[in-house]
Every structure is written in C-alpha cells, then in structure tokens.
Structure 1
Amino acid sequence: MKLKRKQEFKKLNPNYAALFRGSDGSAMHAASHIAGGRLRTDFISAEIGVSCVRMKKENTREQIILGIDPGTNIMGYGLIVVRGNAYELLQYGVIHLKKYGSHELKLKKIFERITGLITEFLPDHVALEAPFFGENVQSMLKLGRAQGVAMAAALARDIPISEYSPKKVKMSVTGNGNASKEQVAALVRMLLHITEEKGLLDATDALAVAICHHFHSGRLQTRGTASGWKSFLESNPSRLAQPTRPKKEPE
C-alpha cells in the first residue's frame, strides 16, 4: 500500500526526489522503526508547500492515525492502521532536535519532519499529547510552541487533529492515569506486538496517543477535534488569550 502511494506520488510529481531533500540537498534522518522489524535510518522529510497532492485511499474503511508526543529535544511519533476494531503498528520513531542550536531552528525542523510523515503515510487523523503544566514557564512555553508547529503541519494539509492530556492517554492504555513511561511502553509493545529492542520511550508514548484516539474516536464530540484553525479555536475557546483591561488610576 505504502509503496503504491509513493509510486503514484512520484508519477504526479516529477520533482519527487528533490522534494524529499533538505534545503542543503541532503536527506533528513531520524531514528525510526517500521512494522516488520526492519530498522529504518533513512527517514526523509519534505520541504513542500501545502498544495501537494493528497492521494485517495483504495480502502476507505482503513484509517491511519499519527500520534505525536511533542518535545523540544526529542519528539516521538507513531502511526497505527485501524481496520474496524482491529489496529496494528505501521511505524514509530523519534526525531532528535537537541543538535539544533536555536529554538527557532528546532521549530522549523519539527514542521519539516511532521510534514514529511504526513506526505509519506497520508494519515486520516493526527492525535497529540497536550503539554503538561510544570514550574518552568520558559520550558512550558517552548513545549507549547513545538506542539503548535506540529498542529500547524497537520492543519495546513486539512487533517483533523485531536488533543489528549497525558493522564487520559495513560488511563486509556494502561487503566492507570499515573502510569510511568515504562509501564505505558510495556502495554503499547504488548498491544502492537512490538518485538524490537526496548527504548524509544517518546515513540511508544506517541503510539499510546494514537491508540488513545482510536479508543475514543467513536465517542468524540465536536470539541477537541478540528479540521482547520477556525474550527480548532471555536472548539477550544479556553486556548484564546483574553485581553486585559488597564487598571484605573485612583482619583
């Protein structure tokens, strides 16, 4: 299925090889695993406009969900294929961002890599883990920006997005809202029959987000799901900053 999509995309886009190259001409890499146990080290991301062709699926009953665990140093991602009530692993991995010096460059790379995943796998839905609230305001601000850029990559391609709290993701997968990363990883590996070596906790977190969305997708209401910026803001009014009124000077 994936190979056929790539072949169709290549026919429709003569500059296919050039599209999947970085701005410096080199392929973009990220640690990743693909279903079937084959280690993939040549993940490539596309620097392309939002007008890129989006192919139709042959099997309309099949749904691909891209789960994302936002991060400013390591961002996890995981894709699952849903057929009816059954689901299986498509691919999972992490995107290393620590090597990029500035925060702005990290945001650029996040957008490029998420766009590349969307171009390659054509997900029907993107599910993200909501940032948790910590004491370090600057860290929370940067994490929120990273999540926002990942959202923008999906919304720019008209892909619906959903957001789930870490507690809800853990509860959905393990039945314990306070489960550790290791516990989540163990359950995800069991559910998706992952036999590769342990590790990539951010990637298994992302798969957990995708599984969480699958479990809740049948019960989702309009709130929390969006197919564009306007829809997202209408569904999440609390995310809008409220203007502050200036204080009156005492007479």
Structure 2
Amino acid sequence: MTDLARTHPVIDTHCHLDFDDFAPERDLIVERARAAGVVRMITICTRVRRFDRIRAVAEAHADVFCSVGTHPGNAGEEPDITAAEIVELARHPKCVAIGEAGLDFHYPDNAPRDVQLAVFRANIEASRITQLPLVIHSRDADADMIAILEEETGKGAFPFILHCFSAGPELAAIGVKLGGHVSFSGILTFKNSLELREIAASVPRDRLLVETDAPYLAPMPYRGKRNEPSYVVNTARVLGETIGVGETEIRDITTANAYRLFSKMTRP
C-alpha cells in the first residue's frame, strides 16, 4: 500500500460484489481494493428477495457494506414488493442504504413503466422511513425522474444519490436542489465524456461521490475490461482534475461525503 492509499483513503459507494463475475476471486478483489486504499465498499442490491446473497458478502468482509432494494430492470420479478419488507431487511447492521431503485426506459421490455414506478415509490417510502440514502438508477428517464423526485420530496425529505450519473444537467441540478448527491463512475474518465465532466464541475463539492458500478464501466485505462472496486481511484483522480483539485483533496472530499451520507456505515 502506498502512502497516498494509507493516508487518503477512498470509498467505492456502488459495486456489485455478489455478481457471479466475481465469484472465483471475490476475496482477492477485496484485497486489491484494500491495497489501493479503498477502505469501504458498498455492494448494491438489485432484487430485494435475493438480499441474502448481498448480506452474505457484507458479513464476510469487515470493510464491505450493502443496500437493499429493487433495480428497475428487475421490478417485473417482484412487482409486489412493499416498503415494509424493505424496511425490515434494512435493519441489518451492515445495510446502509436503500436501492438501487429508479427508472430505466432504455430497455423497456425489462419491466413495464407502471411497475417500475410502483416499485420505485416503495423504495422511496422505505428510504423516507429509515432515512437511509436511496440509491437511484435513472436511464433515459430524466423528465419522469425529475417529476417523481419533486413530488416525493414534497411528501417528506429522504436522502438520495443519483448513482452512475450519465444524464443531463437539469436532472443533476434539480437533484442537488432537492438535497441529493451525485455519484460518478468510470464513464467520467472516457474521452467522449466532456459534457459529463462539465456537469461534474457544476455539482457542489459536498455532494460529490465516486463509484465503480463494478463489474461494469471500468475507467480508463481499463475500459472494456471487468471493473473492480480498486479502480475507483482512477475515477476519483479524474474527478479531481475536473473540479480543479489534487488527488489527495478529491479523495478526502468524496470520502467525507460518503461517511456523512451513509451515516450508518462505521469507520475503520
């Protein structure tokens, strides 16, 4: 471990360590993340009724935490999920967030829009009840997402993250206005992501987070390969360059933001 990794740790706020992609070497992947200075990893749930898999990964590693929720692409598999069911599972000491949940209109055949909306609202209600941050997935759904966030925050505040942000500037601006955080993945490092970097530069520093969304979206220079939590340092470096701060400062900023937002997550 380098001095930088030791003194200025990073947090991967969104990965999927339970996925089969990692099964053969999950322990080694966690070890590589630790060596890179990644002190906390949050492995994100995509199906409430498979939470046992997520929980098992978090329980196996002191520095791995988890969430519980239904991804919009899987909403059709559990359309009857309730806020009460999510809230009960979220009582687990290592569960620090709700989600990922939201809207994905890029693949309309995955789940009907009305089902996605209903399941999303159940996850929102669970976040409002627990005050655990809601991890929001939004793809090709900016207008609908803005409308729902405005409506639902009007009913009562809940913390949230626009994860793996790749949408337009209006969603980012309104998300921040409503109290949300914005998390950037390896997409930020791609050469054709100038507009995304402009959006990142517009987000207040106290609302910035970094993630991998591993095993997807590996940052440069690993683009096209399987992603893993250790690579979050590459995204953090580019985010720092984007907002005009050094690598140590961006690590400190995003780590402090993550601990503040995921308040149930213990520190080393």
TM norm. shorter chain > 0.5: no
Q: Which has the larger share of helix?
A: 2
Provide the TM-score with structure 1 as the length reference.
0.33
